[in-house]
Amino acid sequence: MSAPLSASISEPLSASTSAAGPAPASVAMSAPAGTPGDLQPLRELALPAPVPYWPQTAGWAIVLALLVAAALVLGWFAWRRHLKQRYRRLALAELTGIAARMSDAAQRATALADIASLLKRTALAALPRERVAALSGDAWLAFLQKTHGFDAQSGALLMLASYGPEARRAAVSAQEAQRLVESARAWIAHHHVEV
């Protein structure tokens, strides 16, 4: 019983494909008379609507809006901090140039004086002029110690670099000069600006 049924189903199918090419998808195939209902040609399934990317409930939209607002606020604070710390980045870049000159004994005396000047300019960029400009000598060293632990040996070398004669500055060893560079780098990078 299955052989005549399959032969009768395949006859219209082969006739429609050979005469005019493949049958278009929109044309429904007709089954021969007497075909049971289970074997009637299948119809295309109805596909569900595509899932939207936008949330369907108001709660998720509010959460999304809050996340975007938080990201914008954090980005704004990070940008302000980046701008406020610009003087540190510039001072550290200048200090790197000064440190490169320290290896040459002929330039060491002027490089030491440049470190003292750089520290003062950095402090002036960070704090009000009234608090920093008049500081000198022991008051200046106390300020450096208070804002970020400038050690006594580096402080003495800084005083020599600021106020000592050039002959004494030229006699400073490369190790002492390097210690002052490291102390200056630490102070520039980590000093605390008090309000």
Alpha helices in the chain (DSSP H): 2-20, 58-84, 86-102, 105-126, 129-132, 137-148, 152-163, 166-170, 174-190
156 domain residue, yes or no: yes
Tokens 């402090």, residue located? 123
In the chain, the amino acid numbered 178 is Q
d(CA 184, CA 144): 10
Give the model's pLDDT for residue 18: 46
Domain extent at residue 108: 86-190
Give the model's pLDDT for residue 13: 47
The per-residue pLDDT of the chain, averaged, comes to: 80
20 domain residue, yes or no: no
d(CA 159, CA 91): 20
81 domain residue, yes or no: no
Q: Is the pLDDT reported for residue 158 higher than 70?
A: yes
Q: Is the pLDDT reported for residue 24 higher than 60?
A: no
Domain count, the chain: 1
Residues 145 and 155: beta-carbon distance below 8 Å:
yes
Residue-wise pLDDT tens digits, 115-134: 989 999 999 988 888 888 88
